[in-house]
Chain A
Amino acid sequence: MNMEARPTKTAADEGFVKAFAEAGAGLPGGANVKAQRTAAFGRFEACGLPTRRVEQWKYTDLRSFLREAKPLAPVPGAGERQRAEAAGAAFAPVKPRRLVFVDGSFVPELSDLTKLEEGLTISSLAEALTSGTPDVVSRISESNVSQGDIAYALNTAFMTDGVVINVEAGKHAARPIHLVFAYCNEKPESVFVRSLVTLGAGARLTLLESHEAFGAEDYHINSALNLDLGEGAEFDRVKLGTDSPKAIHVATTGAVLAADAKLRDFALTLGGTMVRNQAFVTCNGTGAVVDLRGASLLSGRQHVDTTLVLDHAAPGCVSRELFKSVLDDESRAVFQGKIMVRPKSQKTDARMMTQSLLLSETAETDNKPELEIFADDVQCGHGATCGALDEKLKFYLMARGIPADEAEGLLIKAFLGEVTDGIASEGVRVALAGVVNAALDARG
């Protein structure tokens, strides 16, 4: 008999059980997909939402954040679609190809599917699941994301839509693709989206992503991205987290890199009451390069968790992580970074750094680096710093006539600059700088 203490079901747990019983059968996909949904839901049902007792959720008690299961998002009506038109404006100067999701449903008429570059195919996940595209169906469960991860299991059980993007070997999708997520329902809702991106050998793609609310503020978004990078493929992602102040946002990325593939991922987080960006990255081929960065600018009681599991499963791969947070009031930043170096993965070069700037006495940052190294010829390091604004620098700026709040803004921007400077596209860098400036001005 299993003697493990099974927590009692919470209202949220029961809500999801009820939702799955009622709506599960209507979710897109044939028998094969449904079986995978049921299996995933079974994993959720066995343990419920994770609490602090689950090591991976030690600093982010999902159970206490997610008090109730909000109803599954309905198909957006005309009003919702109309409100979504303003979404994603921050990236407009880059002129990306917009793919718009309203309350988690792909809306073709708001999206741009014209003049697809050669070798680029785009379809909605709902479409792919309904038509039973074999590659899509098989990849639902076959990913490098930990099968025990409950947030991901919930995503598998409830995913309603998302996007499936393929770039053929050797092709370069020159125009960035922007996944525009707009939450427009006037009632609280739960949204589950899943996207699959596949780059053939030597293919290149830049993916932008933004989240904004135009309806009820207290929504729950659970998104997942499965990423498969072929040999020498190059993938850039820039995610702009401008959720409403009451949103709960849990995002999972599962990325698998073949030899010499390059993954650059950056997330700027400003919104949401609780945000968790978790990434599982596996370097399966020699010479893969991983660069994960993040910046967050938090206030009030915001809680932002970045959790990384980086698996160096092949020799000679390089990984860099740099995460910075600016924390005011009672906000809290959590960073959990695990680097695994397998026995055969000699010449691994892995470095992880987190830095926090605390603007108040009550802000908090928690860092948990974990290194599991089974090879003997590797370079692997981690570091964490935490401090207040430098008063001497602030005085220097003020002595030149710059007012206190403007001086602080300059120093905060300078602090975050090191992270944003790593973004390859100048247009995207400028767009994000504009977002950061607006956020700092609003801070006033």
Chain B
Amino acid sequence: MDQPKISLDLILANIAAEAEKAQDTVTKASEVLLGPLETAMATTPYDVVYEEDRVKLKHYRTPGDVTLKTPLLVTYALINRETMLDLQPDRSVVQTFLNSGIDLYMIDWGYPTRQDRFVTIDDHINGYMDNIVDYVLEKTGAPQINLMGICMGGTFCVIYSALHPEKIKNLITTVTPTNFDTDKGLLHIWMRAIDTDKIIDTFGNLPGDFMNLGFLLLNPARLMIDKYVGFFENMGSKSFVENFVRMEKWIFDSPDVPGETFRQFADDFYKKNLLIQSKLEIGGKRVDLKNITMPLLNFYGMYDHLVPPEACNLLTKCVGSTDTEDITLDTGHIGIYVSSKCQREFAPKIIKWLRERDGEGRPVPVSATNETVGEQPSPAPPLKRPARPEAGKKPARPARPRPTRKEQTIKPSLTQVIQETI
């Protein structure tokens, strides 16, 4: 038998050092865990300005003046909660938007109960979303709104924009699945394998815990073992523990998905892939992606295991708009919103893109410093909104700067690519 070529003394010395380090971590950890911890999420102040059933509309308080004429409505998925965009003060997409002068609204889908089991996708899009959009238009007097969707919320936004294009000025989709005919993500394989009708007939709604278990099983080695090993290693760091707990709170804050909505999402989207083929019907109307003629900015993560790039990158090729842009970030599904690196790239890019398309034929000038990695874009001077056009009339769209179809793969730095493009 071959003898290992490493001395036993060295191994023992390392074990001793590791033990000492572990003891030190445990001592610090007890101080951290027993002391006060700041783990509150979504602390940016907002007002609930509209309520319908379980659905609420949050309107965030802008710290300074509103500098973008068009308000932005963010639509989150029905899976997990929109609090992810405002996880902690220094990693908050919400705060970045507000600091740059965006008038920000966000839909809070609430916690569906058994009472909501019959609520369909049509009710969400042509009901709640449409009523909210009408409310924002009415309240702000803006002729159109900017719409931004996240994951399944992005899919809703795509459908909404195709059905009500006259109300949407610019569309931003982030990690949004639109092409479900791919085997790249395990979720796509599993969703096609399940008997949706049986699940819904049994549970009524799709239970949040059930979904969470499914997500954990996508990568048990990392999500059920390695993640917590990492936690034990860093328990001595207060900020690490606080961030970790915030993330845990967000991950397991998982509302149920209304039964009928899930049934249709699994059958028409995952199993039949109707949306990308413009064959989907919502509320008796066909969702034709060619109706999406407004500018479209499409973000997705290169290493997203839930919504792989293949599920996102066909959209810009199928819509009717000529002003489209694909941006690939070298991160996963959640990293786009919460990683420090993406915080410097993701939200500032959206702000810049919106500013360029906000004016009437003039992009709002953005100073060079705004594009510097790590700095928040400074707000432009306050603007007055134009009068809303007559009801039923499609507003004249302002001339857009540089209608182009772009594809970007940002690795390692998004900012460099943006600057080169400019």
A binds B: no
Could you list which residues of chain B lie within 8 angstroms of chain A, going by C-beta atoms?
Answer: none
Could you list which residues of chain A lie within 8 angstroms of chain B, going by C-beta atoms?
Answer: none
